Amino acid sequence: MTSESLVDIVDLEVSIAGNIILHDVSLAIDAGKIVTLIGPNGAGKTTLAQAILGLVKAQKGKIIRRKKLQIGYMPQKVHIDPTLPISVKKFLSLSQVSGGLSIEDALEMVKAKVLLKRPMAGLSGGELQRVLLVKAIMRRPNLLVLDEPVQGVDLPGQSELYKLIEGIKHKFKCGVLIISHDLHMVLGASDYVVCLNKHVCCAGTPRSVTEDPYYRKLFGDMKVPYGLVPYAHEHDHSHDDNPDVEGYTRNA
């Protein structure tokens, strides 16, 4: 691992009930970088995130984590029983730890302090995503793992959430792993993109990935509408566009 490495994944293979979900997966997540996993349904994106979190055991390969790595996780779905009278404050109090952010400070970071006393069951889609993001950052993480962080959010709300994620990255100097189907916006909001379909099909900068034959085979000739994204990074990563090579370029 380098001094910037948070997680290095090398030749990972994961099988569940005898079915190979992931194979030959290698990637790195560095501090201060936003890495996005894209791919079709069933590609193994959530399984890879669960492996990084230690929730799923790999059969082959290895995951090397920085010592004392603190991970904040935002799951794809959270079911809130509408009959359960739990407020945002009470929900977030379950994630409070010594030395972490206060609930009020964390809500302020995502511009959602007004939600403090609101019932969880009454939140809109965008409000719920902000509360879940707060839950993920309360431990002051070194690495944020966000599974579909803007689902159920309209386009302006998506843009705002990605701006918040960028701000959190700078605040904590953390790495961010985003799992997303949101190709229109998340690519432009990323430093590095990994296209996954049980293995790494292609990887590199957002622009290079959208020009890769593997990506075009999966998603067609969809272009990244950079005018819609809240910001667009300049990248200097190299990328091999040879479709015969299952390449892996470190997000250096």
pLDDT digits (tens, 9 = 90+) for 188-226: 789 999 999 999 999 999 888 888 888 888 877 655 444
Q: What is the pLDDT of residue 242?
A: 35
Contact predicate 133/152, CB 8 Å: no
Mean pLDDT over residues 137-159, rounded? Answer: 90
The answer to whether residue 15 scores a pLDDT higher than 50 is yes
| Mean residue pLDDT across the chain | 84
The answer to whether residue 144 scores a pLDDT higher than 60 is yes
* Residue 220 CB-density burial (10 A; 0-12 exposed, 13-18 middle, 19+ buried): exposed
The answer to whether residue 140 scores a pLDDT higher than 80 is yes
Contact predicate 23/13, CB 8 Å: yes
Whole-number Å distance between alpha carbons of 223 and 215: 11
Contact predicate 159/185, CB 8 Å: yes
Handedness of CA 219, 206, 44, 163 (dihedral sign): negative
The residue written with tokens 């959530």 in the block is: 46
> How does DSSP classify residue 223?
P
Mean pLDDT over residues 234-245, rounded? Answer: 37
Cα 206 to the center of its chain, rounded Å = 15
Q: What phi, psi does 60 have (nearest 5°)?
A: -140, 165
Neighbours of 233 (CB within 10 A): 17
Q: Which of 1-15, 49-63, 175-189 has the lowest mean pLDDT?
A: 175-189
Q: What is the pLDDT of residue 222?
A: 54
pLDDT digits (tens, 9 = 90+) for 41-73: 889 999 999 999 999 999 999 999 999 999 999
The answer to whether residue 228 scores a pLDDT higher than 50 is no
Max Cα separation, the chain? 55
Q: What is the pLDDT of residue 249?
A: 35
pLDDT digits (tens, 9 = 90+) for 93-132: 988 887 889 999 999 999 999 999 999 988 998 999 999 9
Q: Which residue, 36, 50, 7, 4, is CA-closest to 173?
A: 4
Cα 49 to the center of its chain, rounded Å = 8
Whole-number Å distance between alpha carbons of 94 and 135: 9
β partners of residue 16? 19
pTM above 0.75, yes or no: yes
